[in-house]
Amino acid sequence: MTDWLDEINWNEDGLVPAIAQDHKTGRVLMMAWMNREALALTASEQRAIYWSRSRGRLWRKGEESGHVQKLHELRLDCDADVIVLMVEQLGGIACHTGRESCFYRVFENGAWKTVDPVLKDPHAIYHTGHAHE
């Protein structure tokens, strides 16, 4: 199962950006990074597994929050350097701020305006004191 991974144009750090979208609505939920192992495990476990640059380890989305992303489809762009994951976001929250999507700010009149509500208090989601999952 290595040949398909060889087709990806990994960056100089051995990573590829991965965009998670809701498989029903198409809403962009978040962007994170994957290394070769993370992508291979995502495909085999059928759930989003990323590479946490800040922690320097694999990050199984939902490991602390329970907000697992079940994989429905994996896509690769034309330049083979961006992955799109069509996912079912369990709990309806992808962002560590407790929102549906990490993209909750809209540019209006020269400023970033927050337009999405917090669905769950982040302190109620994370018990370890981490800012990020």
- Which residues define the annotated binding site? 77-79, 81, 95, 102
d(CA 79, CA 76): 8
Binding residues for Zn(2+): 78, 95, 102
- Overall size of the chain counted in residues: 133
Residue 102 has which token pair? 């990490």
Query: Do 45 and 39 touch, CB atoms closer than 8 A?
Result: no
Indicate the DSSP class of residue 59: E
Binding residues for Mg(2+): 77, 79, 81
